[in-house]
Chain A
Amino acid sequence: MKLVSLFTGGKDSVYSIIKAERLGYNVPVLLTIFSKNPDSYMFHRINVEWCKLQAEAMGKKIVYWETKGEKEKEIEDLYYALKYIKESYGVGGVVTGAIKSIYQAERIQRVCDKLDLWCFNPNWLENEEKYLEKLLKDRIKFIITKISAYPLTKEFLGKEFDKELYKKLLKVKKYINIAGEGGEYETFVLYAPNFKKEIVIEEYETIMENENLGYFLIKKAKI
């Protein structure tokens, strides 16, 4: 079955594609929703313009779809985006990186249902610790691009995920979901087993809004 990935550029959407491809599914196209609302409940905002590099690294097509990011109206936009992709690319289903967010999962399920598309959430209910261990084992190389929860501070921002960072996250697990599923942090994947080439960040800017809210903005990057 041909699938479209609902793609944010983060670890979870990349890993969901890897899981699908390992089972023999074809994921030729990515859909990245570009939300004008930085606080969208549904879609990542940070660095999504760089998803095109990831698509290139994976040898996939990418469709950007803009939404104002108004609550519930952004679901309508998702509907039209997926309708376009279904008609243009002949996909039979959607694969998402959702882990525990029922808010996201139920809305995507409804849209898929309306469009007669299969909906796959292969990361669903992954145990956060086990999940991060899988990402380590599978050598998913990603950095933290947004922090938005105590006790995450500037020292986490821009950090590459490795055993050391995993241990640091374990130390704060009583405060946050350490897989970041509650929006505690967002990520950007630089390399994964399904990338033909690695992404190199050449310029970036970090912005701290307060002690626990900050952004790592990619300004220049290449494959």
Chain B
Amino acid sequence: MITIISTCKEKLSEEEFVRPLIDLLESKNLEVHVTTYKNPKINGNIVVISGTALRDFDYLNYINNFSWIKNFDGKVIGICAGARIIAKIFNLNLIKKKIIGVKEVEMKDKKLKAYFLTSFLVNENDKIETLARFRNYPVLFKIKNKKVYGFIFHPEALNPDLLLDLII
């Protein structure tokens, strides 16, 4: 069972940021449970925290609902807003930077196109391992010694396999 936590204040945004994740996971015959940032109920040991609309920051008012991530034994994957939540929980430095559109990101052994819809980036620091970067910024990172990952871009758009590789 995989839990998807929606970070969307607006139900219509869930069609854009949550439904594609459900479709992607269900296409691999994975069982999905969906919950919301206002009252997240975790089921199973893999959690995906969704992205949301560029103007939506309501989830930041509920950041305490995510303090469990620090001690969670399973895997947590944050996408955009979800990565911002992870960054907040692990006290990573955030910088304001709006990126909308397709950019080339570099991984260890390849370059790929990724779709960004973000108003922030994370600074490189010793709490994280950078798995992909855009210019000098980590855009896919792993919290060291934890199974906690953050995508600043939206892998469901152009890189679903990157997301699935972390889940399956």
Counting contact residues on chain B (CB < 8 A from A), the size range is 20 to 34
If A119-B53, A119-B54, A130-B23 touch, does A125 touch B156 (CB 8 Å cutoff)? yes
Contact A120 B23 (CB under 8 A): no
Contact of A109 among B10, B56, B100, B156 (CB under 8 A): B100
Q: Are A20 and B12 in contact (CB under 8 A)?
A: yes
**Residue in B closest to A122 when the chains form the complex, CB atoms:** B15
Interface set, chain B 124-156, CB cutoff 8 A to A: 156
Report chain A residues within 8 Å CB of B101.
102, 106, 109-110
Given contacts A106-B102, A118-B53, A127-B27, contact A19 B12 (CB under 8 A): yes
| B115 in contact (CB, < 8 A) | yes
Q: How large is the interface on A (under 10, 10 to 19, 20 to 34, 35 or more residues)?
A: 20 to 34
The answer to whether the Cβ of B112 comes within 8 Å of any Cβ in the partner chain is no
B16 near A109 with CB under 8 A, answer: no
* B27 CB contacts on chain A under 8 angstroms: 127
Q: Does B74 contact A (CB under 8 A)?
A: no
Given contacts A116-B55, A120-B53, A125-B20, contact A109 B117 (CB under 8 A): yes
Taken together as a complex, chains A and B put the C-alpha atoms of A46 and B98 apart, in Å, by: 35
Is B35 in contact with chain A by the CB < 8 A criterion?
no
A113 in contact with B102 (CB, 8 Å):
no
Least distance between B92 CB and chain A CB atoms (Å): 24
The reply to whether B11 and A106 form a contact with Cβ atoms under 8 Å apart is: no
Chain B positions within 8 Å of A, measured between CB atoms, are 10-13, 15-16, 19-20, 23, 27, 53-56, 98, 100-102, 115, 117, 156-158
Give residues in A with beta carbon < 8 Å to B: 1, 19-20, 23-25, 95, 102, 106, 109-110, 112-113, 116-127, 130
